[in-house]
């Protein structure tokens, strides 16, 4: 049942900054009268050899910066990716986990495992195995059926919404149509939620 105003959050499991935003984001409905709606958005990232030298420097810096922020919160692991990932199977896993009632555990686990090189986001069988471990035997098989059926359509609908919202990166929050990009913009978002009289 809805308890407040809608707050959107676009995310992708391969973004270290979306990982940094995840746990604080889950806490927002406890502090404010908002209904946080997580919407998958697949980042399009160029691989090595497709990026400029400047983009390579920026990518290395981004992981350095993400680790600094992680260290401020106890030092959870953020290892650089092994390749450019098609995260669609894992993102459809997030949609499935929402239906199954285990989205929070799935999401925090997917981020932690991916950035510790224990989950390949583009391999449906690994996503299925993780879901079996998380929610019991048979969950992975139901995920695979969803992936082959309604999951693709539901993911496309989410991407169409992202396009309509002009989403360009993650994490990207929208409150009353106003965008807040990046985990480090969350204090500004919270200011806005407070100004709107939504503090619990």
Instruction: Break the chain into its structural domains and give their ranges.
Output: 5-195
- pTM (2 decimals)? 0.92
Lowest mean pLDDT among 22-31, 37-46, 150-159: 37-46
Phi-psi region of 176 (alpha: psi -120 to 50; beta: other; left: phi over 0): left
pLDDT band with cut points at 50, 70 and 90 for residue 171 = very high
CATH architecture of 5-195: 3-Layer(aba) Sandwich (3.40)
DSSP string over 128-182 = HHHHHHHH-TTHHHHHHHHHHTHHHHHHHHHHHHHHHTT--SSSEEEETTEEEES
pLDDT band with cut points at 50, 70 and 90 for residue 48 = low
């Amino acid at each position: 049942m809805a308890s407040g105003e809608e707050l959107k959050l676009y995310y992708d499991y391969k973004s270290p900054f979306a990982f940094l935003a995840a746990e604080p984001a889950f806490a927002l409905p406890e502090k404010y009268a908002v209904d946080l709606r997580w919407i998958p958005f697949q980042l399009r990232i160029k691989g090595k050899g497709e990026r400029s030298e400047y983009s390579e420097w920026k990518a290395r810096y981004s992981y350095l910066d993400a680790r600094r922020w992680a260290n401020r919160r106890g030092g959870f692991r953020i290892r650089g990716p092994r390749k450019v990932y098609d995260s669609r199977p894992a993102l459809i896993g997030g949609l499935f986990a929402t239906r199954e009632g285990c989205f929070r555990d799935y999401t925090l686990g997917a981020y932690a495992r991916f950035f510790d090189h224990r989950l390949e986001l583009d391999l449906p069988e690994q996503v299925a195995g993780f879901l079996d471990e998380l929610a019991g035997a048979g969950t992975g098989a139901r995920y695979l059926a969803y992936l082959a059926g309604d999951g693709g359509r539901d993911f496309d609908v989410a991407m169409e919404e992202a396009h309509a919202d002009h989403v360009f990166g993650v994490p990207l929050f929208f409150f009353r149509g106003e965008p807040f990009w990046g985990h480090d913009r969350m204090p500004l978002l919270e200011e806005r939620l407070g100004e709107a009289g939504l503090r619990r």
